[in-house]
Structure 1
Amino acid sequence: MISIRALLTENALADEFVSAFHARRLPEKFFYWFPLSVRAWLALCSDGAYRNFVRSRSLIARSGAELARLFPVAPLEVVSLGAGQGDKDLLLLEALRARGARVSYVPVDTSQALLEMACAGALSAGFPAQGLKADFTDRTHLQALAAGPEAPRRLVLLLGNTLGAFDPIAEARDLARLLRPDDALLVDGEVYAGDATVAGYDNPLNRRFAWAPLNAVGIRDSDGELVFEAADDPRLPGLHLIPKHFRAGRDVEALLGGEGLRLARGERLAMNHSYKYAADTFLRILSEAGLSARWQGRSDDGRFLMALASPA
């Protein structure tokens, strides 16, 4: 039986969606909430054109045994933040088990559907799994993730450039406070490559994924346009932001649970964003958050950097 604890309810998500829409923004979590969004996400991950998924997954597959050797043969709790469907996590769980670690798995996500998939995959492979439906960017939820005094050593995962979906500087500091001295964080980030990075978003499956939460509430492709941009974050050299927004080409009305949500022609709805990094900037963010990288790996094309870090 799949076991999932909920700190974040579906009613709370619905209320937050309405509030966010009125504020003309669409946060990251809602790109994985609707069934249509989940289908679009899984289709995107199954297509080789989505290079970030390929890079992150192949790096885990190639480095899993090496990473597993960095942990003692002892109980280990693997907590995956923004776990999604958990397929990358499962590769690492298998490598840790082969090493002899006694692994338990705690996937954390705001998407009920993806959490069910992550738990089901782990259970089918013989791992104990307890899902947690929570928003780890919420300080209250993050505090609830703190390990109890009797909890085993932890490996916290934040994979697929998930750090870049938020404010990476603030989020790295929050995550550092979650770790105990013997715990570790495995985190990755996309290395910025100028125009090639922005061009990577311009493919049909990625656009379908970006459109999915809008389509789910009745906004169609013909109602406006998605605009991808690129900007530098002035807080650090080598910190780059790819934001996107929907611009209404005519007056539109979205519907959620029978409630009308209107956008006037020309209005913008800010959507989720993605930070990219120069490699040394990514490592600097971890260091300034109080984390020391004890292992680093790069994807075959050099465009993805992964680090295993512990409290300094």
Structure 2
Amino acid sequence: MDYDSDTAGPKQAKALPCQEDRFDSGLDSMKDDELASEFEDMSVDAHEHTEEYEPWRSAVTEDGDTPLHLAVIHEATEHALQMIKLSHNHPFLNLQNHQRQTALHLAVITEQPQLVERLLKAGCDPRLADNSGNTPLHIACKKGSLTCFSVLTQNCQRHLTSIVSFPNYSGHNCLHLASINGFISLVENLVQLGADINAQEQCSGRTALHLAVDLQNPTLVRCLLALGANVNCLNYGGFTAYHLTYGRQSDEIRHQLYEQTAQELRELPESESDESDMEDLDLSEDEVSIRFRMAQL
């Protein structure tokens, strides 16, 4: 049983066809009374079983969810806390379902910072990635969850540098995800925590500043410039953030970047072929887009 962060809540979640944005499927498959019965049968009791063997640790659904996954998804907090308490530094805490989500992923998705903290302190590994390459911190940055972000960054400082710079399977690190979704407070916090503000996403080499121009978000552009973003960084197509303003509506962004971009980098790179031959060229998406917008001016 997996979880979709874009839905209104666990009881309303539906399966989504898009794997990138799909966090969970089929939460309606187990009703509340059935869930209560399942937990009662599992007998999570420290006095009945040894620490090494608990029968509920071997239970798993057809979706790969453990009782801990289910307790987190359905916000059965007391059951979840009891299992966490009985599983301190146990491999059970890091078991992944068929979407490769740990209980920690699901606690962030369902916005349960108390469980996030208890899982981390009990030994849940914050470096584990789901089947989209997202760690729990990636998910917090994508969702804009300030509380879960704070708990994660405060409790996994040993691995924080590597997690912050780690790209998911779309090539985006935590700063890119926070920028794409316009969460300026998270952008500021990430940079203060040591995130490379000029890191390039792996698909086309955009920095957070390039992404802010793509999004036409002047507030984010101002924020990134104030934090020290390099306006002269080139993406893989050889374009600065200023180049991406060609044919776009925001004069404010264009003026901000024009003043700070090196003079020799203000003009578009020369194309070796006529624009009429553009379809035959191996041009980057940025170059095709920019030259198309220029042709409309």
TM-score between the two structures when normalised by the length of structure 1: 0.28
Higher strand share: 1
Choose 1 or 2 for highest CA Rg: 2
Whose RCO is larger (CA < 8 A, sep 6+)? 1
Higher helix share: 2
